[in-house]
């Protein structure tokens, strides 16, 4: 993907937020074997482009993205969840791998943004005492990229507002897209439910 060809890539990377999907998909078509292809697929049936489109030109651009479940490539999330119910130790193993991954990424604890319900449930059940965890819709959700961007930005904007309310220092209140108008704090919080 061309973003990785940018010689200033280190200036773009953002370790304050980590987007977390459930697992790697096995449906990338006949592509060359290249790094990062799981979230940067050119396969026409993949929808990960919608997440990139939603995040471009926001404070979330350059954030790290990963899967909570490693080494279980499967396009059907129901099969992944079924496997985890039968093998609960796999969840613990993958949570440990994930925390190791986060420690390599940064000394600071990032805000975790789960992509979809399944990833959110696993992360929230295992790590809610250690991290702030929020959820956005999965990019495979049947919605156009423009509407997906609107929905994702609405949720991400709410996250930023909540961080301001609770005193989070990760938010720059000068970001024009973050604070459009706050009439009622509770109105902002409802987007997360």
User: Which of 7-16, 47-56, 97-106, 126-135 shows the lowest per-residue confidence on average (mean pLDDT)?
Assistant: 7-16
Domains and CATH numbers, the chain: 2-143 (3.40.470)
Instruction: State pLDDT tens for residues 132-148.
Output: 999 998 888 678 888 88
DSSP calls for 105-149: H-SSPPEEEEESHHHHHHHHHHHTTTS-EEEE--TTSSS-HHHHH
Q: What is the pLDDT of residue 164?
A: 66
Give all strands of the β-sheet with 63-69 in edge-to-edge order: 63-69, 14-23, 111-115, 133-136
pTM passes above 0.75? no
């Amino acid at each position: 993907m061309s973003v990785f060809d940018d010689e200033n890539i280190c200036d773009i990377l953002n370790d304050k937020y980590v987007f977390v999907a459930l697992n790697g998909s096995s449906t990338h078509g006949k592509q060359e074997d290249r790094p990062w292809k799981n979230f940067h697929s050119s396969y026409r049936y993949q929808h990960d482009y919608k997440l990139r489109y939603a995040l471009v030109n926001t404070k979330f651009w350059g954030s790290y993205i990963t899967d909570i479940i490693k080494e279980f490539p499967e396009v059907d999330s129901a099969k992944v969840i079924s496997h985890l119910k039968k093998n609960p130790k796999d969840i613990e193993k993958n949570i440990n791998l994930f925390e190791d991954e986060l420690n390599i990424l940064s000394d600071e604890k990032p805000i975790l943004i789960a992509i979809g319900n399944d990833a959110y449930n696993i992360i929230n059940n295992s790590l809610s005492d250690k991290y702030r965890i929020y959820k956005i819709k999965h990019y495979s959700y049947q919605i156009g990229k423009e509407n997906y961007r609107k929905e994702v930005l609405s949720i991400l904007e709410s996250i930023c507002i909540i961080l301001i309310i609770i005193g989070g220092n990760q938010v720059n209140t000068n970001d024009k897209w973050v604070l459009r108008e706050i009439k009622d704090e509770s109105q902002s919080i409802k987007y997360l439910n």
